[in-house]
Structure 1
Amino acid sequence: MTDRLQQLLSQISELEDELQIVLHDREVPIFFTLRGKRVEFESSLKRLHRDLRIGLIAWLKASEPRRWVAAPFIYGLIVPLVLLDVGATVYQAICFPLFRIAKVKRADYIIPDRWQLNYLNVIEKLNCGYCEYANGLIAYTAEIAARTEQYWCPIKHARKALGTHARYQRFLAYGDAQGYRAHLEDLRAALAKSPERPFNADPRQD
């Protein structure tokens, strides 16, 4: 990787961190205060949330039939999701220490906090909890897979690939045999020293 490319990637990373901070600072003072894992709202906002909550009976009456048809297929995925969760966690617990790869913190990705929103009824909270688990789990396992790929095969594809992870841009060019032999161990060593920031972590917590 050229020095100029490395510089540009570092600048992009810094700008992403700055954007996260600005967006977070605009949102938090307006809506809520964080006290550990607890989210607190002003009393007036709490009342507004309760007033905007749709009762369970009314919500069920307003539900379209297609929701009920889709529900078993949506929630049926909980089984493979849990298996993926257990498998990925066990995998990194055993394999990452063997190769000196820093472990991915599950709590940085799976954040169960939407149940504290009082404008959601019981079913809406259940739906939100399921979504935050599924999407957080996918991001968590994607980072485990990304660190694994960086260790074993940090090579870009010959064709443009959609949905690549954050580490991909630091991978070596396709067909660059000399670069692969020269820099593979550097990329591996970086996993133990200072792995890149999790996708949704607050940069101010460093």
Structure 2
Amino acid sequence: MNDKIREIIDEIEAMKIKLGEEIDKQESHISYEIQNGYVRFEKEVLAKQRENMKNLLSWLREVPLLHFLTAPLIYVMVIPAIIFDVVLFVYQQIAFRVFNFQFIKRSDYLHFDHHYLGYLNPIEKLNCLYCSYFNGLMLYASAIAGRTELYFCPIKHAKKVVSEHKYYKEFLSYGDEENYQEKLKELRKNS
């Protein structure tokens, strides 16, 4: 990777931090804090949230019939997701130890905090739990796969990818065969 590309990547990372800070400022009016991994709202804020929670019966009356009919299909997907989660754990325990990779922390990707929101009814909280688990699991799997790919096949794709894992920027350019094996060895040594 040349110096100009590295410089642009560093600028993008700095802008991501700046964006995060701006988002935090924008959301600063919402009074909560995180203590020992638990979200804590001020009592007044939580009381106001509960006032805005939709009654479960009225919520159920407003759910379209197709939502009810597709719910079993959606929720049955949690079974393969849990199996996949276990397989990822086993894979990481074995492969990452063999190749001496730094472990990917599952807790960096799976966040369960929507149940603290007082304006969600029990079914909405269950839906949020499902989505948080499933989407976090996919990001976790992508990080594990990306770390593995960094070692075995760190070559960028010819076509633009929709979403890149955090290791992708380190990959070698597509079609750049010059000194490929040496670059691969260097990349493996430094990663």
Amino acid at match of 2:63: S
What's the CA shift string for 1:23-64, capped at 9, x where partnerless?
A: 234324533111121111122211111111112222112221
Cα distance, 1:67 vs structure 2? 0.8
Structure 2 gaps of 5+ residues are none
Residues 1:106 and 2:109 are matched in the alignment: no
Match of 1:178, SS state, is: coil
Considering Cα pairs closer than 8 Å and 6+ residues apart, tell me whether 1 or 2 has the greater RCO: 1
Match of 2:182, SS state, is: helix
Amino acid at match of 1:162: V
Larger deviation, residues 7-16 vs 80-89: 7-16
What's the CA shift string for 1:161-206, capped at 9, x where partnerless?
A: 3233232232111121224223223322343xxxxxxxxxxxxxxx
Aligned to 1:83: 83
Amino acid at match of 1:47: A
| Whole-Å separation in 2 of the counterparts to 1:145 and 1:88 | 10
Task: Please list every run of at least 4 consecutive aligned residues from structure 1 whose deviation after the TM superposition is greater than 4 angstroms.
Answer: none
Match of 1:174, SS state, is: coil
When the two structures are aligned, how many residues end up with a matched partner?
Answer: 191
Larger deviation, residues 63-72 vs 155-164: 155-164
Cα distance, 1:72 vs structure 2? 0.9
Q: Does the Cα contact within 8 Å between 1:172 and 1:179 map onto a contact in 2?
A: no
Aligned to 1:54: 54
| Whole-Å separation in 2 of the counterparts to 1:35 and 1:28 | 17
Match of 2:92, SS state, is: helix
| Whole-Å separation in 1 of the counterparts to 2:130 and 2:14 | 32
For residues 1-206 of structure 1, the aligned pairs below 5 Å read 1-28=1-28, 30-191=30-191
| Whole-Å separation in 1 of the counterparts to 2:67 and 2:165 | 32
Q: TM-score, normalised by structure 1?
A: 0.86
| Whole-Å separation in 2 of the counterparts to 1:161 and 1:79 | 29
| Whole-Å separation in 2 of the counterparts to 1:132 and 1:93 | 24
Aligned Cα RMSD in Å?
A: 1.6
What's the CA shift string for 1:60-98, capped at 9, x where partnerless?
A: 122210110110111111111111111111101111121
Match of 2:156, SS state, is: coil
CA 1:35/1:26 → structure 2, altered by over 3 Å: closer, same or farther?
farther
| Whole-Å separation in 2 of the counterparts to 1:103 and 1:46 | 37
Amino acid at match of 2:91: Y
CA 1:179/1:165 → structure 2, altered by over 3 Å: closer, same or farther?
farther
Q: Percent identity?
A: 38
Q: TM-score, normalised by structure 2?
A: 0.92
